[in-house]
Copies of this chain bind each other. A is one copy, B any other.
């Protein structure tokens, strides 16, 4: 596995934000990732827990690093934050730059099976396996056995999907305006269809990535750890009375009725808030406290 290269090391609050790059063997391209190491890291602490922040459509590692504002809380509680990219970049597949909601910036955290995409679009394996393995080799003070996951929009879907599909992997999960039932939304249909295929048998694979479908399946026996979700009522992608709801929180709540999770999803509808990073930064402190609890960082 190729080494991580430190492109920039930026002092930020009590720690440092590292802009890293590396060759990805699962995506077959160079990838960028940002890593915030909290003040405890520089004080020499070991076994520092890790929070993954998965960004939404179009985003790079920069958006969350600059605007989600997890860093002061990372210092407060003592966890590192990983800000991965949202897709491979620069791989030049025909059609990868036609729209902001498919291809570049829109990897949708799946492993593609369609011939055209499967060489490069493997964000599921990238986030779950390749990236943590790579990071823990270099940053040995971090404890990748004690990690949690959060995300926004497409990344909120990703966070919940990773959490539910891999019950022993993450200690806790939260999301900001996630796409909760992606198989039923324009964004999900486009990305699942493109990367996984559109036939009826292909759609069986969609279900394995869809948080609402995973939870509502009879086979789901994951541990019940509360999932914290915020959804802005003025979010333009949440239109309960509009033509289409891209985020589908209510469809999700309906689907989980009767599941282990019925009482363990805290989905807070917050009046007035939109879909922007102004919304995310307003609640990142509350999400950080949620994760700190399950990462064992609260007294």
Kindly identify, within residues 250 to 299 of chain A, every residue whose CB is under 8 Å from any CB belonging to chain B.
Answer: 270-274, 276-279, 281-282
A28 to B196, CA, bound (A): 56
Kindly identify, within residues 1 to 45 of chain A, every residue whose CB is under 8 Å from any CB belonging to chain B.
Answer: 10-13, 16-17
A234's closest neighbor in chain B, by CB? B11
**How many copies of this chain does the complex contain?**
2
A11 to B13, CA, bound (A): 25
Contact in complex: A281, B11 (CB < 8 Å) = no
Interface residue total, chain A, C-beta cutoff 8 A = 22
Q: Smallest Cβ distance from A33 to chain B, in angstroms?
A: 17
| Cβ of A69 under 8 Å from chain B | yes
A232's closest neighbor in chain B, by CB? B11
B-chain residues with CB within 8 Å of residue A270 when the two chains form the complex: 11
Q: Smallest Cβ distance from A270 to chain B, in angstroms?
A: 8
Q: Smallest Cβ distance from A139 to chain B, in angstroms?
A: 18
* Binary contact track A59-98/B, C-beta < 8 Å → 1, others 0: 0000000110100000000000000000000000000000
A11-B279 CB under 8 A given contacts A66-B67, A69-B69: yes
Q: Which of A10, A16, A234 has the most CB of B within 10 A?
A: A10
A282 to B277, CA, bound (A): 18
Contact in complex: B278, A11 (CB < 8 Å) = yes
Kindly identify, within residues 205 to 247 of chain A, every residue whose CB is under 8 Å from any CB belonging to chain B.
Answer: 232, 234
A276's closest neighbor in chain B, by CB? B10
Contact in complex: B67, A10 (CB < 8 Å) = no
Q: Which of B17, B67, B273 is within 8 Å of A11, CB to CB?
A: B273
B-chain residues with CB within 8 Å of residue A69 when the two chains form the complex: 69, 281
